[in-house]
Structure 1
């Protein structure tokens, strides 16, 4: 079920939250709010499609409400003391329940989903990182995300357009972060921040081991930068998206050309 497109370059794009597939037996247990799937990283696969050649992509079609492959498999919070959602979310990003009364998954079911969906995604991602490290001596994971720019339950105010996450610089060589930051600073009309509200999810933190030749960096985009509106039907805005794609192309070209 995991979708892998292999390239020969050192860059891997992770696509953990673009999927909207929910098995029917699970969908039946979601309430109306849950079935809306509002917390999808809408159109991210389209936004990044074709920006650079010879890149590897790893994507799960399964929605994060089934299981969030960007959370720790043991359920440990990535942001202690802050509102967030878990391995199998109980609420949406607004803090409102997504399951019908009495239908919240128990620990045994969470473990079943972890094995079926979370483990398979990371097995595929780990295999691609290892394949490219063997070929180049290093590999770079660029984890692709997006989120609404205003979510009071998760953060105050308005999110910058481009949110770079390296877990405080721990997940990649300093030159990688600096190169991406430089592109973002020069991007006319966009705001950016490094290790702000989003410092990198479990994927970035897990795979980012620069001393072993494995580098990881997360990009959380504000959906206002490429959607017509941050509300259903989550319409892709061609003009906004093409403008943003120019900046994203430069970022990916820079990462593809980076060498230790």
Structure 2
């Protein structure tokens, strides 16, 4: 059988080119179609002789066309099927050919080809899925890094340290205070005391809408940590409602300097480090004269 196909390869290729052009609307010239298909027909002959691996050839072919994006696995499988039809047409007018016996042998090769097409396609799709998953994972990691950076920037902005004159720092606290933010406040406060060698720390809570047990405990820890670092804490901006809440909860702030507003707290802080605020009467009188 292999010798017969080899001897009649031109007939097989003619049938193949005709089938491609008539049944599959292949626009390429017949000679080009035959030239491209001849290696595959010769590979079939070699495989029928047991000299090579037909499945390996098809597998390599599918891998190559998929990688080059020149065709699809289905097109390779279709080409093998059309080649099988072409071989059958070449046998049709050959009385010496044992049709059924040879047909079975070639069918086995075509089945093997289909199996290897499916295997190659599965491997290719598996690789593409892994690539896609890796790309998605990388994108998710990048997005998470951006989110983490944004959150870090927001946390830094939400716990600012403002140095005033020498040895005085102010930390305005605005918004709600949860466990994570309380940790950031504590770390920023200690870092500010160390960096500016602060002796007085003003914690202004005017912007904290609600002071409950949790917030009060977090502030108490921050105050205690500031004392351990050698700084004197002053809490400013406590509302009447916040003061009542702290008393009702039984939290002892008797040893903590608390003032109604930031302005009063700044005056106390300056006096604690040896500065004194005095009104310049002459300037004040001149200003009053301009206004009158």
* Structure 1 and Structure 2 fold alike (TM over 0.5): no
Larger Rg: 2
TM-score (structure 1 length as normaliser): 0.28
Structure with bigger RCO (C-alpha 8 Å, 6+ apart)? 1
Q: Which protein is richer in helix relative to its size? A: 2
TM-score (structure 2 length as normaliser): 0.26
Q: Which protein is richer in strand relative to its size? A: 1
